[in-house]
A and B are shown apart, each in its own frame.
Chain A
Amino acid sequence: MYRHVFYYRLLSGLRDRETLFWTFLFPIILATFFNFAFSNLNADETFSQVPIAVVKNNDWDQDTTLQQVLQELSTDDDSLFSMQLVSIGQADSILLADEIVGYLIPGEQLEVVIRYSGLRQSILKVFADEYVQTRATINHLIKENPNLDIRSLFQTTVSLIEDQPIKAEATDNVVVYYYALIAMTCLYGGFWGLREVIAVKANLSRQAARINLAPVPKMKQFIYTMSASFVIHFVSVLLLLLYLTQIIGVHFGDQILSVLLASLVGSTLGISIGALIGVLGNQSEGVKSAILIGFSMLMSFFSGLMIADMKYIVSSQAPVLRWINPANLISDAFYASYYYETSTRFWHNVVAMLIMQLVISIVVVSIMRRQRYASV
């Protein structure tokens, strides 16, 4: 009996091209678009050398200190700047061609010329400031203390910073989009849940009316068909995971089991939410699908599908929402196993999902089991 129902429900699911499109293909298409759009997003964040130029004028020729300092800062490929000496006309033309981020004009008042504002420009400005300030320090100290041995004093540099690193290589915040996408796919599993409810609720489809006449308990029938749907949907989530890791190259950390567990729990949660929408009320299939899409999109939005920062805003401004948004629980489980060193946060999310799953199942079962139809 089980095998029969399971097999034919599986077959029927695999022939439902529309649902297959939304749960298999659509997430993969969306992931591809994300990849196009986000591949360069954090490119300007990592540190690389700042190309600059210095105008070679009289002040430069006389200022040996500036020469020395700049030379030290642009010795090789690892140093802060790569520097070239140019005339003022040249400086302007290479600046406008974006070959350098800015140039310095040595003089009584050191001048920085840039084209845009940005972090790399700030680094040049910070250097120039530092130089001006060091010069001011010398002038200030000599005025008070004419006998001071400046040379020995400027041997003192202080470095009193100790690094407390965060888990290395795990700070790429673009993953939030992909995690939210997985969450959306899990919630789209609701289409399968909804489909199965419609297939057993006699007032929603003709097929269900026929099934209700069969001498098999409805609950049993429902569990059998749900398991077929679960198999299809879990495979779609796994395919998405495979696509994300192997083709797009999204990182999930090294906890493979956690990732699988989160996908499994998320997938069942998504299907149950669809079932819940199915059993509540007697709206038509179209309306129920619309509710499901709206719900999935809204929840995914709050877990960072469209704007990654939304996830942060929600969890810092409205922590309660964080725990009742199923999409956020799913994406947060991935986020926790990627970014956090301890697994506490991951388990909190999984337990929250399981509790939600339990509550939904109780509601679905208690509504379904008492339903009788006066005339089918």
Chain B
Amino acid sequence: MQVFKACLKIIKRNLPSMMIYLSVFLVFVILVTLWNPQSETEDFTTSRPRMTIINDDTGHPLSEGLKNYLYTYAKPVELDGSGDQILDALFFRQIVYVLRIPNGFGNALANGDTHPKLIRTTLPDSYQGAYSDQLINRYLTTTARFLNASPDMELSTVVRQVNQVLEQSADVSLRSEATGNGFSSMIYFYIFLAYSLTAVMILGVSSLMLAFQNKDIRRRNFSSPVQITQYNFQLILGNLIFAVVTCLILCLVSLFFYRRFADFPRWLLLVLNTFVFIITIMGLSFLLSQFIRSRGMQQAVANVVSLGTCFISGVFVPQELLGENVLAVASFTPTYWYINAIRLIQHTESVSRSFMNRYAVSLLIQLSFAVAFLVVALVVSKQKRQSEKQ
């Protein structure tokens, strides 16, 4: 097992740079999940436009009434009125609607005047803008009708009665297959894992292989009495150990950080999926390292391949936001099927038969990728060996 032992030695030497990659990933993903634990399937009522209201007509019951009404149906975002701040917030969709209630608006509404008007700024052609307009018009129209019907009513009474009427609502029923199974930080962790695992595996495996690719060392190894099949077998075993240990460390870390995700069977499904994925990526790295000649090239390949597969497979941007063509291309990468399995786990309510079938298909496709990569890699390495002999 000399080759295998040499593998372990090389891995040990490359450990520091691998650890940097992994720890940067861990810090990043933990920060992001702690910071931004937003829910993917939102509660129906939370689809509220983020709105800033600047009320220059404070004290008038109708204007205050409008503001309070809007703030119960929209998500209030307090910003001071300076130009840049509002423009920036609109651009980054922190708010979608800015409403300025001008001084004297309440009086005008009470008297049926059409001036001054409300001033709004919103993103052009947006749903949320149209929705906000609708909310405002509804309030104003209802108020105007009340005022027309009984002109002598106290304004505060009008506001109260308008609010009473506007509290009425239609019943909503949700016909959804999967409900109440929202986002969990654990899922996020495993989705992002695809990126760092790909990068780390390509770097790790290619560092290992670079050492063995050296011409003199290769020649020396091939003239030794160790059989080629034995030699390749030990190399793959060395890579495999590296893969499994990395996988184990990361999975245990996820268990430690996201203990709240108490669903143990589903964690096991995630781990199994990760395990299959890492084997596949190991095959890919093994294949790529047949072509990698230098340290500089190693970095370039690791970055381009890991970013590329992750971008098109829905690691950085959720799959439903990607175009159909992109996804069609992505389905030719193992990463796509890895993410697919995670999403199945995320959205299933119970471990049913149909779920297990679809989950198993995702794993099998990944495994067939692994086999394909390994076969091609072995063929390439054989050809290289033969061309050297001549």
Contact = CB atoms under 8 A, between A and B. Distances in A.
Interface of A: 17-18, 21-22, 26, 29-30, 33-34, 36-41, 43-47, 92, 95-96, 109-123, 125-126, 128-134, 136-137, 140-141, 144-145, 148, 153-154, 156-166, 168-169, 171, 173, 176, 306-309, 311-312, 315-316, 335, 339-340, 345
B124 interface: yes
A160 B109 contact: yes
A39 B323 contact: yes
Contacts of B146: 137, 141
Given A116-B176, A123-B131, A312-B88, A145 B170 contact: no
Contacts of B128: 45, 119
For A46, A110, A140, which residue has the most chain B Cβ atoms within 10 angstroms? A140
Given A45-B127, A158-B137, A312-B88, A129 B170 contact: yes
B93 interface: yes
A153 B321 CA distance: 46
B69 to A, nearest CB: 12
B312 A117 contact: no
16 contacts: A33-B308, A33-B312, A40-B321, A45-B128, A115-B175, A117-B174, A123-B131, A129-B168, A134-B142, A157-B141, A158-B137, A158-B143, A161-B118, A161-B133, A163-B119, A335-B91
Contacts of A96: 175
A113 B173 contact: yes
A158 B140 contact: yes
Nearest to B327: A36
A144 B300 CA distance: 78
A152 to B, nearest CB: 9
Interface of B: 32, 41-44, 46-47, 84-85, 87-94, 100, 105, 108-109, 114, 117-131, 133-138, 140-146, 148-150, 161, 164-166, 168-176, 296, 300, 303-304, 307-308, 311-312, 316-317, 321-323, 326
Contacts of B93: 173
B47 A163 contact: no
A166 B165 contact: no
B149 A153 contact: yes
A110 B170 contact: yes
Given A112-B170, A129-B170, A141-B149, A171 B91 contact: yes
A29 B166 contact: no
A112 B90 CA distance: 31
A26 B304 contact: yes
Contacts of B170: 109-112, 125, 128-129, 131-132
B137 A157 contact: yes
A144 B131 CA distance: 31
Contacts of B166: 133
Contacts of B174: 114-115, 117
Contacts of A165: 121, 124
Contacts of A340: 87
Contact of B92 (A17, A44, A173): A173
B127 A47 contact: yes
Contacts of A311: 92
Contact of B172 (A43, A114, A316): A114
A21 B150 contact: no
Contacts of A312: 88-89, 91-92, 94
Contacts of A160: 105, 108-109, 114, 117-118, 140
State the 9 A-B residue pairs at the shortest beta-carbon distance, nearest first: A128-B170, A33-B311, A312-B92, A117-B44, A18-B296, A162-B117, A37-B317, A158-B140, A110-B170
A168 B125 CA distance: 10
A179 B41 CA distance: 31
Given A157-B141, A309-B92, A37 B316 contact: yes
B84 A345 contact: yes
Contacts of A164: 100, 119-121
Nearest to B73: A126
A165 B164 CA distance: 33
B121 A123 contact: no
A148 B133 CA distance: 29
Contact of B47 (A113, A119, A128, A140): A119
A316 B322 contact: no
A227 to B, nearest CB: 25
B170 to A, nearest CB: 4
A156 B126 contact: no
B92 A111 contact: no
A323 to B, nearest CB: 14
Q: Which of B92, B121, B123, B130 has the most CB of A within 10 A?
A: B92
A126 B118 contact: no
A165 B128 CA distance: 15
B134 A130 contact: yes
Given A26-B300, A173-B91, 18 more contacts: A21-B296, A26-B304, A43-B321, A47-B125, A111-B170, A111-B173, A114-B173, A119-B127, A130-B138, A137-B165, A141-B150, A153-B149, A158-B140, A158-B143, A160-B109, A163-B120, A309-B92, A309-B94
A214 B164 CA distance: 90
A95, A145, A163, A165 — most chain B CB neighbours (10 Å): A163
B210 to A, nearest CB: 16
B278 to A, nearest CB: 22
A136 B127 contact: no
A134 to B, nearest CB: 8
A171 B137 contact: no
Contacts of B143: 158
B326 to A, nearest CB: 5
Contact of A117 (B43, B149, B316): B43
Contacts of B109: 158, 160
Contacts of B123: 45, 166, 171
